[in-house]
Amino acid sequence: MENFTPYSALIGGCLIGLSAALLLFFNGRVAGISGIIVDSFSAEIENRYWRAFFLIGLMFSAAIVNTFFPVVPVTYSRNILLVIVSGILVGYGTRLGNGCTSGHAVCGLARFSLRSAVATITFMSTAILTSYIMRHILEY
């Protein structure tokens, strides 16, 4: 991680927390991204608008920040099929677990939810273990 700076991480974390707090304050909704994506296709029409605007803002905010603070492009040397399958499995797992990393780790922990604490510990431990096995045991 050659481009990591604690200041950019702090600012990004504050912006994520601010957006989650604003969504909760103005809409009474938890900012669980996987739930917002799924419900944007299945919710009644009046509830689709805020979801669509939230997702559009999520996508375009990175482009806006990159316009003012360009970074070196990241090269990725992994098998793209493995990345796609992994993404699908993560998406399936978030729906199976009734939440996602943003919903549990950002919003749930901020509300002192025991269920979110258990979920966050579970998915972070699984991610660390998987990363260790892939990099150090399987050397992939």
Give the model's pLDDT for residue 43.
Answer: 65
| pLDDT, tens only, 58-82 | 888 878 877 887 776 666 667 788 8
Q: Per the structure, how many domains does the chain have?
A: 1
Give the model's pLDDT for residue 129.
Answer: 93
Between 44 and 43, name the one with better pLDDT: 44
Give the model's pLDDT for residue 40.
Answer: 84
Count of residues in the chain: 140
Average pLDDT over residues 44-57: 84
Residue at 57 is within a domain: yes
38: containing domain: 6-137
Per-residue confidence band for 42, with pLDDT thresholds at 50, 70 and 90: confident
Average pLDDT over residues 44-68: 84
Distance between CA atoms of residues 103 and 42, nearest Å? 19
Helix, coil or strand: residue 77: coil
- Judge whether residue 1 has pLDDT over 50: no
Residue at 53 is within a domain: yes
Give percent of the chain above pLDDT 90. Answer: 4
Q: Give, in degrees to the nearest 5, the angle at Cα 79 between 65 and 136.
A: 95
Ordered DSSP codes for 6-52: HHHHHHHHHHHHHHHHHHHHHH-----HHHHHHHHHHS-HHHHHHHH
Helix, coil or strand: residue 63: helix
- Residue type, position 39, single letter: D
Residue at 30 is within a domain: yes
Residue at 89 is within a domain: yes
Residue at 1 is within a domain: no
Distance between CA atoms of residues 123 and 61, nearest Å? 26
Helix, coil or strand: residue 139: coil
Residue at 18 is within a domain: yes
Give the model's pLDDT for residue 104.
Answer: 85
